[in-house]
């Protein structure tokens, strides 16, 4: 089972052995992977509702970099069915972005989140948005390995390895709403994972909109009868 929270890559460096480097994403990349508008993340950054794991200063500007756990946390905030306090957001960030099992009144139960307060507890079903993030992370990682750039091919424009097919060209077709079946027919050299990456690139800097299916949660008493809520 793929665990999204607190995820890091390990890269072998010949001179130093095993080196641990974090896998980081820009605002646009994080937005595409989480399938949320990039402006939503920028607003959350301005309001300090989201604090990415890494920040890089470039001149006078600060470039925010998101870990996979940060992306999962952003997805949760956007899909959450009711407003969260700053304290709750900090607790959930500790669990989803930093790998804690419990923070304040929140805890991780399997893949889901549980909130306890006295006799009341709320179970947050996280399967759907975990799957969304996992699917898009897989597409992103595939593309990072599959796409190459060489001055000898289209002046250095990124293309799919072994082809002269520009990534941005295929991504532009997805932006225009061309069905995937037509794109696959026009570019038989591209496999399903190539198309999944191009679809992800199509969302970089775009406004995908809010997900159609809202986050599901259940309210129940610790020793009582369960009550389903929407």
Question: pLDDT: is 209 or 40 the higher one?
Answer: 40
Task: Give the SS3 label for residue 91.
Answer: helix
* Average pLDDT for 72-79: 91
The pLDDT value recorded for residue 205 is 61
**What is 131-202's CATH topology?**
Arc Repressor Mutant, subunit A (1.10.10)
> pLDDT of 126-142, one tens digit each?
889 899 999 999 999 99
The pLDDT value recorded for residue 16 is 46
Question: pLDDT: is 111 or 180 the higher one?
Answer: 180
Does residue 19 have a pLDDT over 80?
no
The pLDDT value recorded for residue 216 is 52
Question: What distances in angstroms separate CA 142 from CA 58, 135, 201, one per listed residue?
Answer: 28, 11, 12
Percent helix, strand and coil across the chain, each to the nearest 5: 40, 25, 40
The pLDDT value recorded for residue 192 is 97
> pLDDT of 83-123, one tens digit each?
889 899 999 999 998 889 999 999 999 889 999 988 888 88
Domain boundaries, the chain: 131-202
Does residue 156 have a pLDDT over 80?
yes
**Contact by Cβ (8 Å): 215, 124:** yes
CA distance 158 to 220: 52
Q: What percent of the chain has pLDDT over 90?
A: 57
**Contact by Cβ (8 Å): 67, 24:** yes
Name the DSSP class of 55.
E
> pLDDT of 24-66, one tens digit each?
999 999 999 999 999 999 999 998 888 888 888 878 788 899 9
Question: What distances in angstroms separate CA 96 from CA 6, 63, 72, 89, 109, one per listed residue?
Answer: 7, 22, 7, 10, 12
């Amino acid at each position: 089972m793929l665990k999204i929270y607190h995820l890091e890559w390990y890269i072998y460096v010949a001179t130093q052995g095993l080196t641990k480097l974090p896998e980081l994403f820009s605002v646009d990349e994080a937005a595409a992977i989480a399938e949320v508008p990039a402006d939503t993340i920028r607003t959350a950054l301005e309001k300090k509702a989201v604090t990415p794991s890494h920040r890089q200063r470039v001149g006078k500007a600060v470039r925010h970099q998101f870990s996979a756990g940060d992306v999962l946390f952003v997805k949760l905030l956007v899909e959450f069915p009711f407003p969260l306090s700053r304290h709750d957001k900090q607790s959930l960030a500790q669990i989803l972005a930093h790998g804690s099992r419990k923070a304040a009144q929140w805890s991780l139960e399997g893949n889901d989140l549980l909130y306890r307060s006295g006799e009341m507890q709320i179970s947050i079903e996280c399967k759907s948005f975990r799957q969304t993030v996992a699917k898009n992370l897989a597409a992103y990682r595939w593309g990072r390995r599959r796409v190459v750039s060489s001055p000898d091919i289209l002046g250095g424009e990124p293309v799919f390895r072994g082809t002269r097919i520009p990534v941005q060209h295929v991504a532009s077709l997805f932006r225009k709403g061309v069905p995937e079946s037509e794109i696959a027919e026009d570019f038989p050299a591209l496999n399903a994972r190539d198309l999944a990456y191009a679809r992800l690139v199509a969302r970089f800097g775009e406004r995908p909109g809010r997900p159609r299916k809202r986050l599901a949660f259940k309210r129940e008493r610790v020793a009582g009868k369960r009550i389903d809520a929407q």
